[in-house]
């Protein structure tokens, strides 16, 4: 996947999850899937309730044109 498309998807993720701004995604092609979708995983430790550190993980499934098909997040 081209860097320009990754940047476009990242801007959408940052808009919905501002605490992940600046995090670079781990990019992996979808295995076992006949389509040419790509999985982008954003991960960062953030402060949770009571000051505890928790992992925030956002997964974005993106097609070859840069359109986000599915966006999911951890709690």
Give the pLDDT score at 48.
Answer: 81
* Whether pLDDT at 41 is above 80: yes
- E-strand spans in the chain? 26-29, 38-47, 53-62, 68-73
Give the pLDDT score at 44.
Answer: 94
Give the pLDDT score at 33.
Answer: 63
* Whether pLDDT at 35 is above 80: no
Report phi then psi at 60, rounded to 5: -125, 125
Q: What is the pLDDT of residues 43-61, one digit of tens each?
A: 999 888 888 999 999 999 9
What's the predicted TM-score (pTM) here?
0.85
């Amino acid at each position: 996947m081209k860097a320009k498309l990754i940047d476009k998807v990242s801007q959408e993720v940052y808009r919905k999850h501002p605490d992940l701004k600046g995090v670079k995604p781990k990019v992996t092609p979808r295995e076992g899937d006949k389509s040419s979708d790509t999985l982008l995983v954003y991960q960062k430790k953030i402060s949770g309730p009571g000051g505890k550190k928790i992992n925030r993980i956002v997964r974005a499934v993106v097609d070859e044109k840069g359109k986000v098909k599915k966006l999911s997040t951890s709690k």
